[in-house]
Amino acid sequence: GAVVSQHPSWVICKSGTSVKIECRSLDFQATTMFWYRQFPKQSLMLMATSNEGSKATYEQGVEKDKFLINHASLTLSTLTVTSAHPEDSSFYICSARKPIPTIFYEQYFGPGTRLTVT
Amino acid sequence: GENVEQHPSTLSVQEGDSAVIKCTYSDSASNYFPWYKQELGKRPQLIIDIRSNVGEKKDQRIAVTLNKTAKHFSLHITETQPEDSAVYFCAASRGGTASKLTFGTGTRLQVTL
């Protein structure tokens, strides 16, 4: 199997506070995890690539000081939205790459976390 | 970087008819093309994928075709059913250690009775 979980599934926070979202690969080790943001009726936009034991690689336009990513183990990556504002309200989805021995790596997605900032 | 365009944005078909969704990509080095189905509020689910070394792949009612020369690939769903109603996303990747997926803009498929 290839199961990825996220916690929490939804969260409401006040403007200016920080929120941490966890992404876990439950039955495999993931050297690489990805964080996406999806606004209503829009596509998935990659925010950053998280590599275990090293700094995350952020996509252009994504503020690394606002979206802190930590990938401290082979099964856990966290995304912290710091000083959240209403415009950060979105559906955040993580995915994990299963290191099968092939050059093509499938990604397995978590169930997503809906963040609402009031 | 890679740019993936997807058409149409919405598609309505009658149950039993076929549905076709088309995507084009810009990066000639892309060699992995997955298709995802996403229901409202749920995670994207991989329904089929194709590697660059083949031109077509089929899995029951779902098929994908790839034209590397033209840099486009298509999803074909035959004998559509109401449960096929969802948003479908194509994606492209170079594979390998990067394996970053670039998604298309999505197609909302509605299968009517």
Q: CA-to-CA distance for B98 and B102, rounded, in angstroms?
A: 12
The answer, yes or no, to whether the previous bond of A99 is cis (omega within 30 of 0) is no
Contact B101 A107 (CB under 8 A): yes
Number of alpha carbons in the 13 Å side-chain half-sphere of residue A89: 11
Q: Which residues from chain B sit within 8 angstroms of residue A54, using beta carbons? A: none
- pLDDT tens column, B78-109: 999 999 999 999 999 987 765 789 999 999 99
SS3 A95: strand
Mutate to test the interface with B, among A39, A90, A103, A108 (most CBs of B within 10 A): A103
- Kindly state the tokens that stand for B11: 């598609």
Q: Which residues from chain A sit within 8 angstroms of residue B49, using beta carbons? A: 106
- pLDDT tens column, A70-80: 988 989 999 99
Task: Report whether pLDDT(A56) > 60.
Answer: yes
Question: 């997503």: which residue's tokens?
Answer: A112
**pLDDT bracket for residue A2 (50, 70, 90):** confident
Q: CA-to-CA distance for B35 and B48, rounded, in angstroms?
A: 6
**Kind and range of the H or E element at A32?**
strand A32-38
Chain B, 32 to 71: residues with Cβ < 8 Å from chain A are 32, 34, 36, 41-46, 49, 51
CA distances to A4, A10, A84, B96 from A19, rounded to whole Å, are 20, 11, 8, 32
Question: Does residue B107 sit at the A interface (CB-CB below 8 Å)?
Answer: no
CA distances to A59, B66, B86 from B23, rounded to whole Å, are 22, 10, 17
Mutate to test the interface with B, among A21, A45, A104 (most CBs of B within 10 A): A104
- Kindly state the tokens that stand for B88: 């479908």
Which residues sit opposite B10 in a β-bridge?
B108
Q: CA-to-CA distance for A36 and B78, rounded, in angstroms?
A: 31
Contact A111 B42 (CB under 8 A): yes
Chain B, 77 to 96: residues with Cβ < 8 Å from chain A are 89, 93, 95-96
- pLDDT tens column, B53-79: 889 999 999 999 999 999 999 999 999
Q: Please name the residues in contact with B60: beta carbons below 8 A apart, sequence gap of 6 or more.
A: none
Residues A39-60: what's their mean pLDDT?
92
- pLDDT tens column, B21-59: 999 999 999 999 999 999 999 999 999 999 888 899 999
